[in-house]
Amino acid sequence: MVTKLKVILTLCFVKIKKIMLAVKKKKSMKEIMTVYYMEAKTAKLSGKKVAWITSGGPVEPLIAMDIIPVYPENHGAMIGASKMGVDLCEKAEEMGYSRDLCSYARSDISCATVNGGPIGGLPKPDMLICCNNICGTVLKWYEIQARYYEVPLFILDTPFCHTEYSEEAKKYVRRQIEEYIAFLEEVCGRKMNYEKMDKVGRLSVEGQRLWQAVLDTATNSPSPITAFDAFFHLALIVTLRGTRIAVDYYKNLLEEMYQKVDKGIGAIPNEHYRLLWDNLPIWYRLRWLSNKFADYGASLVADTYTTAWCGTLKYIDVDNFLDSMAEAYSRIYLNIGIDEMAKNVIEMIDKYNVDGFVIHSNRSCKPYSLGQYDIQKIVQRERDIPCLVIEADMVDERNFSESQIATRIEAFMEMIKEQKGSWSRNSNYTE
């Protein structure tokens, strides 16, 4: 009992210190995320409820209800980045889960049973919110966690938009938004405050606009930001979308990017080639990949992944957030047909003035990866730029072959060089 109290006091102290530090200067990502996870882990003390939610799920109602959202996928990314994925995936395989299953799901499922991983496991959920707009995998994953934690599960079913967002789907999703709020009200035992919901909706839209603006600074040459930076800064638009914290953070970040643009500072020292990344990051090899491309003077200026958290802004009506959110969440990048995805890719190629397309064929993510070859064909037909396919996995390092990938990158960069004109690392080439 005494030790438990000590731990709690220490935690509170650390938290206060962090907050005090954070007010003094601009909050860093690390500080914000530490405070965020601390709050989530001590939710029981503050009397708040914790909801686990899928990365594409509508978090705004949770924020409005003062429920702490926790993202197993963000956790999966942390597990991958800290290179703890293989151990946890193997643990899941020992539990009977096939090696061919999503590595986020595998590492999260086994992590829950051992409280392992980089932050000693996620805080226990009081409820689970599963939105299948990103994949069908999350349904199975959340069923497993609902059985394990014995907590209620809400499924937001967003019909796949192969070629259209049908009237039928529209009606269905809109009704589910009401059911979602009713579910939250029941679990929390209190009513939704719609005034607050409205504010959260506005903050969410503001955050998404700022995030898009940050990503848009990559239209500059040299680009002040790479996809690798975006993978890092992404955490808040995923986890704290709809909060002031996220808005403030991206305001500062945008300011920083503008300054870099003004001074002509690029994210990599010698930007000669501009590339577009497709699919989730390879979390355990970010630095290696980033250096590898930078060595060839290639900057990954944009990606299809991080734009997913602002890509449907066009469907949102800020004065009617809940209604319009139904459509926005249904039409995200992973919930549309591959011809529509290819259209998005081509728009990005034009917008960011891209010389090559890097496709991560991710064993863990079928909705993202199956169809990539067709997207590649469409892109090459429409824009005739070199494409590179990297076979890997976002978390499970056993599916990454360094020498094979290094060779492919080298060949790909040769092709780009051929196409765009050569650049020698040693020459004093200036634009």
Strand partners, 336: 161
How many residues interact with other proteins (rule CB under 8 A)? 58
Q: Which is nearer to other proteins, 38 or 86 (CB)?
A: 86
Cis preceding-peptide flag for 72 (omega within 30 of 0): no
Q: Which is nearer to other proteins, 149 or 315 (CB)?
A: 149
Residues 125-184 that bind other proteins (CB under 8 A): 132, 135-137, 139-141, 143-144, 146-147, 153, 155, 157, 159-160, 162-163, 166, 168-169, 171-172, 175-176, 179
Instruction: Identify each DSSP E strand in 291-420 by its residue range.
Output: 298-303, 356-362, 387-392
Q: Is 216 in the site for other proteins (CB under 8 A)?
A: no
Give the type of residue at 244.
Answer: R
First to last CA, the chain: 67
Q: Is 370 in the site for other proteins (CB under 8 A)?
A: yes
Written as six digits, the tokens of 112 are 């829950």
Question: Among 255, 319, 339, 350, which residue interacts with other proteins (rule: CB under 8 A)?
Answer: 339
Whether 225 and 214 have beta carbons less than 8 Å apart is answered as yes
Whether 242 and 63 have beta carbons less than 8 Å apart is answered as yes
List the Cα angle 186/192/155 in 5-degree steps.
Answer: 55
Segment (H or E) for 270: none
Q: Is 52 in the site for other proteins (CB under 8 A)?
A: no
Residues 6 or more apart from 416 whose CB is under 8 A from it?
Answer: 273, 298, 355, 356, 386
Report, in Å, the least distance between residue 166 CB and other proteins.
7
Q: Is 186 in the site for other proteins (CB under 8 A)?
A: no
Report, in Å, the least distance between residue 109 CB and other proteins.
9
Q: Which is nearer to other proteins, 140 or 190 (CB)?
A: 140
Give the type of residue at 96.
Answer: G
Q: What is the DSSP letter of 382?
A: H
The footprint of other proteins (CB under 8 A) covers 86, 90, 93-102, 105, 132, 135-137, 139-141, 143-144, 146-147, 153, 155, 157, 159-160, 162-163, 166, 168-169, 171-172, 175-176, 179, 337-339, 361, 363, 366-367, 369-374, 391, 397-398, 400-401, 403
